[in-house]
Amino acid sequence: MTKAGPPAPNVTAGLAFGAAPRDPARAMSDRSPSRLPPSQAAGPLFAIRGLTKVYGEGAAAVHALRGVDLEIARAEMIVLLGPSGSGKSTFLNIVGGLDRPSAGEVFFAGRELGTMSGGELTRYRRDHIGFVFQFYNLIPSLTARENVEVVTDIAQSPMKADDALALVGLGDRRGHFPAQLSGGEQQRVAIARAIAKRPEVLLCDEPTGALDSKTGIAVLEAIANVSAELAATVAIITHNAAIGAMADRIVRFADGRIAEIEANRSRAAPATLSW
């Protein structure tokens, strides 16, 4: 374990960022938690330095992040754990280009997000980042396929909507409306929508938070499949410590700081998890 000291959904790009992701290294036994996987020979996909976020001023100021430092490898999967208010969602929002830090730097494939204009951040989200939230944000009047096509219609080199749905195990449900789908199926449609544009990064904020354990495991299996098939870098926020076993590393937040980083020797299959 390593200790470190103080820090609606859209999808974008045209920026000359980094090389294509490579397959993640599965064997973790001989690397310390603070080191990156061997697949990171070309440098980390994300390099985060001194990340700080303060909301408000004076006595009313809220220090959401207090100097967070972290590197995330290409095709790595990390799970962010910590109590509510520990800074996890703020961290994910800044890395995803939804918010800007008060101080510090976030480099994506060598490009500093803080130097980007509003339009460049929009393209960054659209072309490089897929978001999955606790609530599915599907359009009720559209079928599963049509909900995915909302993204494929604006992406540069998307996969077919039917292929994205097949990747999350919903090929036979593509013609169904959200009201005809279970909660887990709706979340998998949301994942299909997020990955249909072939993002390098998938950011998931409590993707199983509204689901029972059996349904949640089906959603985690969809995320693991996307990670393997697309070699995407994946970050999952959760309050559920059991989910950490499916990641390469577990990053624990407390009081706006990274309190601890733990490396797993290998990724556990979601089907083996229980809570």
Flag whether 209 is in a domain: yes
Task: Decide if 51 is inside a domain.
Answer: no
112 in a structural domain? no
AA letter at 97: G
Q: What is the pLDDT of residues 87-108, one digit of tens each?
A: 999 999 999 999 999 999 999 9
3-state secondary structure of 69: strand
> Can you list the positions of beta strands (E) in the chain?
46-55, 62-72, 77-81, 103-108, 111-112, 129-132, 201-205, 233-237, 249-254, 257-263
Residue 215 placed within a domain: yes
Pairing of β 62-72 and β 46-55: antiparallel
- Which pLDDT does position 42 carry in this prediction? 64
Please check whether residue 122 lies inside any domain of the structure: yes
Classify the C-alpha dihedral 81-84-87-93 as positive or negative: positive
Q: Say if residue 207's pLDDT is above 50.
A: yes
Kindly report the average pLDDT of the chain as a whole number. Answer: 86
**Is 223 domain-assigned?**
yes
**Cα separation, 166 vs 47, whole angstroms:** 33
Confirm whether 3 is domain-assigned. no
Q: What is the mean pLDDT of residues 81-88?
A: 96
* Strands lying side by side in the sheet with 103-108: 62-72, 46-55, 103-108, 111-112
Average pLDDT over residues 17-35: 36
Look up tokens 């490579």; give the residue: 22
Q: Taking 60 as the threshold, does the pLDDT of residue 2 lie above it? A: no
Distance CA 172, CA 258 (A): 42
Give tens-digit pLDDT for 116-175.
999 999 999 999 999 999 888 999 999 999 999 999 888 888 999 999 999 999 999 999
State the residue range of the domain holding 245.
73-96+117-272
Residue 102 falls inside a structural domain: no
What the block records as the tokens of 6 is 């103080």
pLDDT at position 6, please?
Answer: 41
Per the structure, how many domains does the chain have? Answer: 1
> What CATH number is associated with residue 253?
3.40.50.300
